[in-house]
Chain A
Amino acid sequence: MTIAEKTTITASDLKRMLDNGDDFALLDVRNDDEFARWCIEGRHKSLTVHIPYFVFAEDPDSAVAEFERQIPKDKFVVAVCAKGDSSAWVAEEFLRPRGYRIANLEGGMVAWGSYYDAHDVPESADDIVRIVQLERTARGCLHYIVNYGIDKAIVIDPPRHFEHVLQIAQERGWRITHIFDTHAHSDHISGGPQLSKVTGAPYYLHPYDAIHPIDVLPANIEFEWLSDGMTFRLGEAMLKVIHIPGHTLGNIAYLLEGKRRYLFTGDSIFIVSIARPDLGGRGETWSPIWYETLTKKLLTLPDDVLVLPGHFSKHSEARADGVFAATLGQLKQTNDDLRKTMNSSKEEFVAWILSSLPEFPPQYVDIKRVNAGLLQPDEEKANELELGKNICALSSAYK
């Protein structure tokens, strides 16, 4: 059966359709607020039509007429809602009986928000380390598994769902030996402490990020302390800890030296834009620190390091092979906010940053509490906190 003949599709099917640029339309039946806050995006633009399910409940004929006005009859349609039941109801009750080719996205936006994709980083294919970039597609979060030696691996920035991480490690015969967070995240819940419990591998974090910046309370989690200049020998390769305060006070980049050099920048330098310095609630104090970090600790690294970031904001930032990566030298040419940083004095940088900050998502304060072990959400609450795309970059893409 081809995808276009199915009556339900999975988040994985949808990702392939979006990546391939297949010709289909999305019918989103959530309410206006949910739709405005977050909808499905891919590398290619697809037709998205928004008709809430309660319009079908209230007046099916006018809802169907609206659907027919916006979507050509022969188009394959994917119906989407928050959890997958309302869109299934709309598809089955009103649209398939009228002859439309329509499939329901199983699990809705919750399933889409928890979907993970993996790409081997080809630059490391013949290296003594092998890097797998994992993406949480809907949220724009990236994390990594790095294989070293014959059968060992480290994990960088694991999310709270980490079954796919364990699965990849198991399939490839890798044992997880270290778990690193680049910082205490604001936009998503870290899987670090839990993955540490499951695997027995130590979890590393910079101690400055073990204090909630707004509550000023110490974290209630177990972790090993990172400090600037620390090194980890990974077989023949070396992982160096670079303390890069500014996005958070304990922000870390990891420089991995194999046959070539890779820089896991976490939330600092992205493919497009740079990380924002205000999510700890102290943009005025942290912006000057951020300038020092960017100009003296990151931009001074060699141009040939391959930057592997912690986020993306648009799928179009990926290369043709699906990987989000570029050398620092390339980014000095293509990343406008990085260029602007390079060409600014500290005073200019601070003024620019403070006048360009995107909205501060209120749930980010609670997410940091969760990551500090100060708050324990159930699954539903965790899903709610993590709704929508990350807003960790300064980028105008979010405005």
Chain B
Amino acid sequence: MAMPFDKELDVRGAKCPVPVVKARQAVNELQVGQVLRVLATDPGSVNDFKGWAQVAKIVELVAQETETMDGQTVYVHYVKRIG
């Protein structure tokens, strides 16, 4: 289920609030229409990315997936800059 993306942010191992805070900064580096793929291991990131996307003005959460990488559960978030 590989989705296309333009940039990647690897925050595996980082705890809340780091994944959302770093993703928010990384979105500033995107062009409108580009997608950021975020790799996180914090299970809380799933609901937090949803919540963030609801309040964010220039961000759309395109997809969320759960994958196993190197024997670890990884929560993958696809975030698109829309404005």
Contact = CB atoms under 8 A, between A and B. Distances in A.
Given A31-B51, A32-B51, A82-B44, A54 B20 contact: yes
B44 A54 contact: no
Contacts of B50: 31
B47 A89 contact: no
B16 A58 contact: no
Interface residues of A, number: 18
Given A33-B47, A57-B21, A57-B24, A82 B52 contact: no
A52 interface: yes
A345 B55 CA distance: 54
Given A52-B51, A53-B48, A59-B55, 4 more contacts: A31-B48, A31-B50, A54-B48, A85-B15
Contacts of A34: 44, 47
Contacts of A58: 24, 52, 55-57
B13 to A, nearest CB: 13
Contacts of A155: none
Interface in B1-48: 15-17, 20-21, 24, 44, 47-48
A251 interface: no
Nearest to A29: B17
A54 B51 contact: yes
Contacts of B51: 31-32, 52, 54
A83 interface: yes
A33 B55 CA distance: 15
Nearest to A87: B17
A189 interface: no
17 contacts: A31-B48, A32-B51, A33-B47, A52-B52, A53-B48, A54-B48, A54-B55, A55-B55, A57-B21, A57-B52, A58-B52, A58-B57, A82-B16, A83-B16, A85-B15, A85-B17, A89-B17
Q: Which 7 residue pairs of A and B lie closest in terms of their CB atoms, listed nearest first?
A: A54-B52, A86-B17, A31-B51, A31-B47, A57-B24, A54-B20, A86-B16
A385 B10 CA distance: 28
A54 B17 contact: yes
A53 B50 CA distance: 13
B16 A81 contact: yes
Interface string A25-36: 000000111100
Contacts of A32: 51
Contacts of B17: 53-54, 57, 85-86, 89-90
Interface string A115-154: 0000000000000000000000000000000000000000
A90 B16 CA distance: 12
A253 B44 CA distance: 39
A370 B13 CA distance: 27
Nearest to B49: A54
Contacts of A52: 48, 51-52, 55
B44 to A, nearest CB: 6
Interface in A15-54: 31-34, 52-54
B20 A57 contact: yes
Interface string A52-96: 111101110000000000000000000001110110011000000
A59 B21 CA distance: 11
Contacts of A54: 17, 20, 24, 48, 51-52, 55
A90 B24 CA distance: 15
Contacts of B48: 31, 52-54
A85 B17 CA distance: 7
Contacts of A53: 16-17, 20, 48
Contacts of B47: 31, 33-34
A134 to B, nearest CB: 29
B14 to A, nearest CB: 10
A52 B47 CA distance: 11
Contacts of B16: 53, 81-83, 85-86
A32 B49 CA distance: 12
A34 B16 CA distance: 14
Nearest to B56: A58
